Amino acid sequence: MKARVTVMPKKSVLDPQGVAVRNAIATHGFPQVKSVRIGKVMEIELDDAGLDAKAAEARLHEICADLLSNPVIEDYTLEIQG
């Protein structure tokens, strides 16, 4: 079983790295780019032998909220791939 976690800054949080990338893109001749948000993606592979899929997903949500993201300034999405 594989899981993909995507962590992004909340829409209400300023993303200075995204602004810097947007400005760099503009200086490279593409000023039409309105905004850029920088996040991170984690791929987690699980040994699914004897694993309860629902329990594993619940545990991964806990780990995402407690360890992989900062819920004050970031949102995460969790995708489970059989």
Residue 51 pLDDT greater than 90, yes or no:
no
List beta partners, residue 7. Answer: 40, 76
Question: What is the number of domains present in the chain?
Answer: 1
Task: Please write the tens of the pLDDT for every residue from 64-80.
Answer: 999 999 999 999 999 99
Q: By residue range, what is the domain housing residue 45?
A: 2-81
Q: Residue range 22-46: average pLDDT?
A: 98
pTM beyond 0.85: the answer is: yes
The confidence score (pLDDT) of residue 48 equals 82
CATH assignment of the domain containing 64: 3.30.1280.10
Other residues' Cβ atoms within 10 Å of the Cβ of residue 5: 19
